[in-house]
Amino acid sequence: MKPKARSGRTKKRKHAALARVKNRPRKPAPKLSSSGLRAAIEIGELVRNRAEAEAAIAQARKSHERLREAIDILPQGIVFLDSEGRYLLWNKKYAEIYNKSADLFEHGVRLQDTLRVGVERGDYPEANGREEAWITERLQKLYEPGERHEQKLSDGRVILIEERRTDDGGVVGLRVDITELKQREESFRLLFDGNPVPMIVCARDDGRILGVNDAAVAHYGYSRSDFERLTIQGLQAFDAETPWAGGDKHAARSWRHVKANGDLIDLAIYSRELVYGERPAVLLALMDVTERKRAEARVAFMAEHDGLTGLPNRALLRRQIGKMLPHTRRSKDGLAVLVLGLDNFKGVNDTLGHAVGDKLLRSVAKRLRSTLREEDKLARLNSDEFAIVQSGLRRPDEAVGLANRLLEAISDPYLIDGNSVVIGASIGIAMAPGDGEDFEKLLKSADMALSRAKTDARGTFSFFEAAMDARAHSRRKIEVELREAIQNEVLRPYYQPLVDLADGRITGFEALVRWPHPERGMISPAEFIPVAEDTGLISAVGAQVLRRACMDAATWPDHVSVAVNLSSLQFRSGNLLSVVNDTLRQSGLPPRRLELEITETLLLDKSPQVLATLHALRALGVRISMDDFGTGYSSLSYLRSFPFDKIKIDQSFVRDLGANREAQAIIRSIISLGQGLGVTITAEGVETEAELHCLRAEGCHEGQGFLFSKARPGSEVAGLLGAGTDADKAVWTMVA
Ligand code: C2E
Ligand code: MG
Ligand code: MG
Q: Residue 706: CB within 6 Å of ligand 1?
A: yes
Going through 383-491 in order, the beta strands assigned E by DSSP cover: 385-393, 414-416, 419-421, 424-432, 461-463
Q: State how far the Cα of 317 lies from the Cα of 444, in Å rounded to an integer.
A: 14
Whether 121 shows a pLDDT value over 70: the answer reads yes
Q: Residue 542: CB within 6 Å of ligand 1?
A: yes
Per the CB < 8 A criterion, the answer to whether 667 and 687 are in contact is: no
CA of 510 to the centre of ligand 2 (A): 7
Q: Residue 524: CB within 6 Å of ligand 1?
A: yes
* Average pLDDT score over residue span 560-580: 94
Q: Residue 687: CB within 6 Å of ligand 1?
A: yes
Query: Taking Cα atoms as reference points, which of 390, 469, 473 lies closest to residue 427?
Result: 390
Whether 455 shows a pLDDT value over 60: the answer reads yes
Q: Residue 384: CB within 6 Å of ligand 1?
A: no
Q: 81-95, 135-149, 542-556: which has the minimum mean pLDDT?
A: 135-149
Sorted by where each starts, the structural domains of the chain and their CATH numbers stand as: 72-177 (3.30.450.20), 182-293 (3.30.450.20), 309-464 (3.30.70.270), 476-729 (3.20.20.450)
Mean of pLDDT over the chain:
86
The pLDDT of residue 13 is 52
| Nearest ligand, CA 524 | 1
Q: Which of ligand 1's atoms lies nearest the C-alpha of 493?
A: 41
- For residue 366, give every residue at least 6 positions away whose Cβ sits within 8 Å of its Cβ, in sequence order, or none: none
pLDDT in tens, 317-334: 999 988 888 877 777 778
- For residue 664, give every residue at least 6 positions away whose Cβ sits within 8 Å of its Cβ, in sequence order, or none: 657, 694, 698
Closest residue to atom 9 of ligand 1, CA basis: 512
The three-state secondary structure class of 164 is strand
The pLDDT of residue 35 is 53
The pLDDT of residue 186 is 84
pLDDT in tens, 635-662: 777 888 899 999 999 998 998 887 788 8
| Nearest ligand, CA 526 | 1
The pLDDT of residue 226 is 86
Q: State how far the Cα of 653 lies from the Cα of 246, in Å rounded to an integer.
A: 92
What percentage of the chain reaches a pLDDT higher than 90? 50
The pLDDT of residue 726 is 53
- If pLDDT is split at 50, 70 and 90, which confidence band does 733 have? very low
Q: Which of ligand 1's atoms lies nearest the C-alpha of 566?
A: 44
- If pLDDT is split at 50, 70 and 90, which confidence band does 17 have? low
The pLDDT of residue 535 is 87
Left, alpha or beta for 207 (phi > 0: left; psi -120 to 50: alpha)? left
The pLDDT of residue 572 is 86
The pLDDT of residue 41 is 46
Q: Residue 652: CB within 6 Å of ligand 1?
A: no
* Average pLDDT score over residue span 443-456: 89
* One-character DSSP codes across 519-544: TTEEEPHHHHHHHHHHHT-HHHHHHH
- If pLDDT is split at 50, 70 and 90, which confidence band does 729 have? very low
Best mutation site among 565, 568, 710 for ligand 1 pocket (most ligand atoms within 8 Å of CB) = 565
- For residue 382, give every residue at least 6 positions away whose Cβ sits within 8 Å of its Cβ, in sequence order, or none: none
Q: State how far the Cα of 534 lies from the Cα of 537, in Å rounded to an integer.
A: 8
Closest residue to atom 23 of ligand 1, CA basis: 685
CA of 584 to the centre of ligand 3 (A): 23
CA of 673 to the centre of ligand 2 (A): 20
Whether 133 shows a pLDDT value over 80: the answer reads yes
Closest residue to atom 15 of ligand 1, CA basis: 705
CA of 436 to the centre of ligand 2 (A): 41
Closest residue to atom 7 of ligand 1, CA basis: 685
Best mutation site among 490, 499, 512, 568 for ligand 1 pocket (most ligand atoms within 8 Å of CB) = 512
Neighbour tally for 258: CB within 10 Å? 12
The pLDDT of residue 592 is 97
Torsion of CA 199, 202, 204, 205, to 10 degrees: -160
Bridge partners (DSSP) of residue 342 are 425
- If pLDDT is split at 50, 70 and 90, which confidence band does 12 have? low
Whether 145 shows a pLDDT value over 70: the answer reads no
* Average pLDDT score over residue span 88-116: 90
The pLDDT of residue 243 is 66
- For residue 213, give every residue at least 6 positions away whose Cβ sits within 8 Å of its Cβ, in sequence order, or none: 192, 193, 194, 195, 198, 199, 200
Bridge partners (DSSP) of residue 517 are 521
Q: Residue 685: CB within 6 Å of ligand 1?
A: yes
* Average pLDDT score over residue span 198-213: 88
CA of 578 to the centre of ligand 1 (A): 25
The pLDDT of residue 28 is 47
Whether 688 shows a pLDDT value over 80: the answer reads yes
